[in-house]
Amino acid sequence: MRTLQYIPMKVPLLDLHAQYAPIRDEILAALTRVADSQRFIMGPEIDAFERELEAMLGIRHAIALSSGTDALLLALMALDIGPGDEVVTPTYSFFATAGAVARLGARPVLVDIDPATFNIDPSQAVDAITPRTKAIMPVHLFGQSADLDPLIEVSVRDGIPIVEDAAQAIGATYRSRPIGGIGALGCFSFFPSKNLGAFGDAGLLTTNDDRLAANARLLRTHGMQPKYYHHVVGANFRMDALQAAVLRVKAPHLKRWTEGRRANAARYRTLFRAAGLDGVVTLPAEPADRLHIYNQFVIRTPERDGLKRHLDEQGIGNEIYYPVPFHQQPCFANLGYATGAFPHAERAAAESLAIPIYGELTEAQQEAVVSAIGAFVHRRVGAAR
């Protein structure tokens, strides 16, 4: 065991300035291009962005949207999901996942997670299917694909579409296939903290199905075709041209940024091991058949709340994703799940903590993070003696 030399240093959870500085001129030129064109809604930026994302993701259709939340909502609308329908989804995710189901008057049927990966437990998902199930919605949480093959098997057998909540996982793969194009529909978020982040809210819906794509495109603009003739009740789910222009500059850098995150994850593993902390603190699992893009690097410890307080005091950025699973949220009390219903999710909510992982993080910063965690652990061990 090696105790890292403790060098106090503040480390933010995310430093967007570090990513922005080298591409500032390109971004400002892109924003100026849109300003000079005065074309803010749809138009050439959106068209070009969609074609570029289709090529980058290897998916037939990419539909630019206002947010990841709207991508989920639109995916379910394109599948005509509504009152009386059920959607099977994990209880542990960002609120938008189950929120989109509930907003359409359908019922989120919640299942527990696999504690090793934080992702939906596929066998529980299969068991939760009823004649009312209209979709299965796995989440690729923190940037790692859910275990999809068991879900695909039941999807094919029973004709139940899979909607992938890929909001946190752009560029991740499952058994060498890019996520977002494996199920019927994929939903991405470009919230600024994502690996590919916009300058505000933006999202994307992906599909290889021409009919679903046409339906989603129609619903994106109030079901309108041509102007002022409405076939179905849609909404305004459009991405701003300004966001598309920013994302077009950033997208070519994504692979390199993700490699930076993956290299940082590997370095954390070395540093935690060298400090004698692996096993004391649980590091994220990385099954060999999935490429993790590390939107978050989430560690686990039963002493999470104490560790969080310690890191806050030391100025080390951290965040609890997510403190309360869906089944314990007040707004979902009507679903009738009891506390204790999903023990793995409840334990993850009590034990997990994200630490800085962004691509520009330096080795010295990572050493500061690990040594701060080591100082907490060793203090606890000392106090217990």
Ligand X SMILES: Cc1ncc(COP(=O)(O)O)c(C=O)c1O
Interface residues toward ligand X, by CB under 6 A: 67-69, 72, 93-94, 96-97, 139, 165, 167-168, 189, 191, 201, 203
Q: Smallest gap, in angstroms, from Cβ of residue 166 to ligand X?
A: 8
Least separation in angstroms between CB 56 and ligand X: 18
**What is the spatial distance between Cα 373 and Cα 347, in angstroms, rounded to a whole number?**
20
> Smallest gap, in angstroms, from Cβ of residue 168 to ligand X?
5
> Rounded to the nearest 10 degrees, how much is the dihedral formed by the CA atoms of 292, 296, 300, 306?
170
- Please, what is the minimum distance in Å from the beta carbon of residue 138 to ligand X? 10
State the minimum distance, in angstroms, from the CB of residue 4 to ligand X.
32
If DSSP states are collapsed to H, E and C, what string results for the chain? CCCCCCCCCCECCCCHHHHHHHHHHHHHHHHHHHHHHCCCECCHHHHHHHHHHHHHHCCCEEEEECCHHHHHHHHHHHCCCCCCCEEEEECCCCCHHHHHHHHCCCEEEEECECCCCCCECHHHHHHCCCCCEEEECCECHHHCCCCCHHHHHHHHHHCCCEEEECCCCCCCEECCEECCCCCCEEEEECCCCCCCCCCCCCEEEEECCHHHHHHHHHHHECCECCCCCECCCCCECECEHHHHHHHHHHHHHHHHHHHHHHHHHHHHHHHHHHCCCECCEECCCCCCCEECCCCCEEEECCCHHHHHHHHHHHCECCECCCCCCHHHCHHHHHHCCCCCCCHHHHHHHHHEEEECCCCCCCHHHHHHHHHHHHHHHHHHHHHHC
The distance of closest approach from Cβ of residue 217 to ligand X in the complex, given in angstroms and rounded to an integer, is 19
Residue 135 vs 275, nearer CB to ligand X: 135
- Closest approach of Cβ 271 to ligand X, in Å? 27
Q: At closest approach, how far in Å is the CB of 318 from ligand X?
A: 17
**C-beta of 119 vs 371, nearer to ligand X:** 119
Give the residue with the Cβ less far from ligand X, 72 or 184: 72
Nearer to ligand X, 97 or 195 (CB): 97
User: Residue 139 or residue 291: which is nearer to ligand X going by CB?
Assistant: 139
**Shortest-Cβ-distance residue relative to ligand X:** 68
Based on CB atoms, which residue is closest to ligand X, 143 or 260? 143
Q: Which of residues 138 and 181 has its CB atom nearest to ligand X in the complex?
A: 138
Of 93 and 314, CB closest to ligand X: 93
Neighbours of 270 (CB within 10 A): 12
